[in-house]
Structure 1
Amino acid sequence: MEPGQAHLDMQTVVEVEINSLSVAGSPRISGEDIEHVEMLTVAQAPLPPIIAHRATMRVIDGVHRLRAAERRGDDKIAVRFFDGDEADAFVLAVESNITHGLPLSMADRKNAAERIIRSHPLWSDRMIASVTGIAPGTVAEIRRRVAGAAAAGRGRIGQDGRFRPLNGAEGRRLAGNLIAENPGLSLRQIARASGISPETARDVRNRLRRGEEPLLKGRGRPARAPQEQLPAGSADAGDGGDGAVPVRMPVQDRTVVVRRLKVDPALRFSETGRTLLRLLSIHTISAEEWDDIMANIPPHCSGIIAQLARECADIWADFAQRAERNVAEAV
């Protein structure tokens, strides 16, 4: 298992000793529902396998089925295993319990949202809402109550996987400071550190060279750079509006998005979906790893590799446009 990756094995079901499993950390504040356990206990049909976190043997989904098996006198229960960290195991537990079985109460969902805000502070309100089954506005209210969460990070990751800056002016100001202190930094390094696009970083650097302020002057709020202009009528870029600035998200956040996609049955259970996941996983390596790859390219191969890289970038750009058209047509 590579660092930062998660995997739910839906293909393999194993029999596990019931006494080896733990039910700690459930998103249900009040514990199990006794009536639901009794209903499952007398059910004639075999109960579906539960899901457990391999590293801790904690039940992620299926505590009521586990209790029913205990009441039946069973020693073992069918289990599918999830590999990943405990924060993502909790996210899967919440997702699983709003889509089937005994739904989580509203109090459970709000409590889960607060916990996910703490463990995944860069996730947008809409993204957390989609996991917990509550309104984005409710998530925003909870975020405001969580100490330090509202100000965490320079942006948010939306449901579409895009990283959106919360404050473009602050990003420009930070980029200006970085350039002044470290003139040798590349545009990519400046953009990554300040949460803006490389094009905006270039504009900030050019403005400083001309002796101008890094912020664009305008009436009211700072204007956007030409590369950051939003489509007419679009929402602001704070939390997943359709007019988001297409800023390249940090690699650790990109890894989180790919990790979530890897547990999506719609992708995992099709050959084309698995191929797409493998292609996306390539782009979760760090900037340092890319630098190492670059440093070890044989000089006689550099030209053809550069050409192939540009062609691959064009293929992904075309893929992105077609995917966005699919979203627009679906809407």
Structure 2
Amino acid sequence: MEDELGEEGVVPIAALLPADSPRIAGVDQEHLRSLAEAATPLPPILVHRSSMRVVDGMHRLEAAVLRGEHEIAVEFFDGSEQLAFLHAVRANLTHGLPLSRADREAATIRIITSHPDWSDRMIASSTGLSDKTVAAIRRRSTTQAVQVTARVGTDGRVRPLNSSEGRQRAAEIIAARPDASLREVARASGIALGTVRDVKERLRRGEDPVPVRRRPNGVPQSRMRVVEPPDPLETLQVLRRDPSLRFTDAGRHTLRWLDLHVISTGDWGGVVGGLPTHCTNVVADLARRCAAVWQELADELEQRDQFSA
């Protein structure tokens, strides 16, 4: 976005239009007075060249008016109005008076509408909210009219919304080009490197490339034989035999941590049977939260694998 910034100059204040500001409440009077009373010169404001609308710096503009000034230093922005608003949001996250939570949520709704193909993390990086908050806003937003099948991530890669489609595409590429590298398959199918590795391993075991939890209605999407995944405790035993884990401090710490947290299907039978009725909903909610944390860990590891491979 920095490439959209043009040269600086001085323009008449009367020639400027007010900002399409992300601030719901408008100008903060206390912050305005502090700027007007400051003895130091004000930094240039950012102005959309084609419309002469302020992009960033309404407080500085109003302060200049209070000082009795008729001209103001500006830096021109040459992008679209949508990009101008996006720049205003980002600028107000890094300097000046911070945007309120309500400001950032309102800005998120606008960006979802103007950039529906951006991922939750991409929008979160522009609005200062978490990607989970952006996802929640996207789900309840009624402003998104454009339906997209893929989104652009913070790394610039385009990924399908339906990961099962990407997995199927990866399986087809692997079948047609068995010598293709994981990175080539990931690039062609639009899924992460770690996901391609998982698809390839599932194919090697004769399983469907799409896990049951990711299939619509749990229906297999290929005619391949579906085999139950290994028990988590069996996987943990394999990890315990890995020298790179057994003989390093970090590896031993990881194994001890997994020993405390990995459970197998059915291991909770005694917990369920002995739990007081008034605690069941609380423990169920805790289990769901833990599952969400595990999923977040899996996504983080997969993302790390993508960049390290």
Smaller-chain TM-score bracket: 0.5 to 0.7
The aligned amino acid for 2:13 is I
The answer on whether the counterparts of 2:168 and 2:210 sit within 8 Å (CA) in structure 1 is no
Larger Rg: 2
Query: Which of 109, 115, 120 is matched with 2:110 structurally?
Result: 115
> CA separation of 1:90/1:8 partners in 2, compared to 1, >3 Å: closer, same or farther?
same
The answer on whether the counterparts of 2:164 and 2:210 sit within 8 Å (CA) in structure 1 is no
- After superposition, where does 1:7-156 map in structure 2 within 5 Å? 7-9=4-6, 12-147=7-142, 149=144, 152-156=147-151
What is the CA-CA distance between 1:242 and the residue it aligns to? 5.7
Tell me the percent identity: 50
The aligned amino acid for 1:8 is L
The answer on whether the counterparts of 1:55 and 1:83 sit within 8 Å (CA) in structure 2 is yes
The answer on whether the counterparts of 2:18 and 2:53 sit within 8 Å (CA) in structure 1 is yes
Give structure 1 stretches of 5+ with no counterpart: 175-191, 201-214, 226-231, 247-320
- Is 1:159 the equivalent of 2:154? yes
What is the CA-CA distance between 1:173 and the residue it aligns to? 8.4
SS at match of 1:127: helix
Q: Which of the pair has the greater relative contact order for Cα pairs under 8 Å at 6+ separation?
A: 1
The aligned amino acid for 2:17 is S
Q: Deviations over 1:49-78 (max 9, x none)?
A: 000111111111110000000111111100
Q: Deviations over 1:139-192 (max 9, x none)?
A: 111100123749831122111111111113346889xxxxxxxxxxxxxxxxx9
- Is 1:243 the equivalent of 2:302? yes
**Which whole-Å CA distance do the structure 2 matches of 1:8 and 1:137 have between them?**
31
> CA separation of 1:5/1:224 partners in 2, compared to 1, >3 Å: closer, same or farther?
farther
> CA separation of 1:159/1:219 partners in 2, compared to 1, >3 Å: closer, same or farther?
closer
**Which whole-Å CA distance do the structure 1 matches of 2:301 and 2:77 have between them?**
33
Number of corresponding residues: 210
The answer on whether the counterparts of 2:113 and 2:143 sit within 8 Å (CA) in structure 1 is no
> CA separation of 1:39/1:81 partners in 2, compared to 1, >3 Å: closer, same or farther?
same
The answer on whether the counterparts of 2:10 and 2:74 sit within 8 Å (CA) in structure 1 is yes
Q: Deviations over 1:271-326 (max 9, x none)?
A: xxxxxxxxxxxxxxxxxxxxxxxxxxxxxxxxxxxxxxxxxxxxxxxxxx9xx45x
Query: Which of 164, 167, 183 is matched with 1:169 structurally?
Result: 164
Give structure 2 stretches of 5+ with no counterpart: 170-186, 197-207, 223-238, 240-293
What is the CA-CA distance between 1:34 and the residue it aligns to? 0.8
The answer on whether the counterparts of 1:144 and 1:150 sit within 8 Å (CA) in structure 2 is no
SS at match of 1:60: strand
The aligned amino acid for 2:82 is A
The answer on whether the counterparts of 1:52 and 1:58 sit within 8 Å (CA) in structure 2 is yes
The aligned amino acid for 2:302 is G
**Which whole-Å CA distance do the structure 2 matches of 1:20 and 1:33 have between them?**
23
The aligned amino acid for 2:46 is I
**Which whole-Å CA distance do the structure 2 matches of 1:130 and 1:58 have between them?**
25
**Which whole-Å CA distance do the structure 2 matches of 1:5 and 1:62 have between them?**
17
Q: Deviations over 1:86-120 (max 9, x none)?
A: 11100000000011000111110000011001001
Q: Deviations over 1:108-142 (max 9, x none)?
A: 00000110010011111111111111111111111
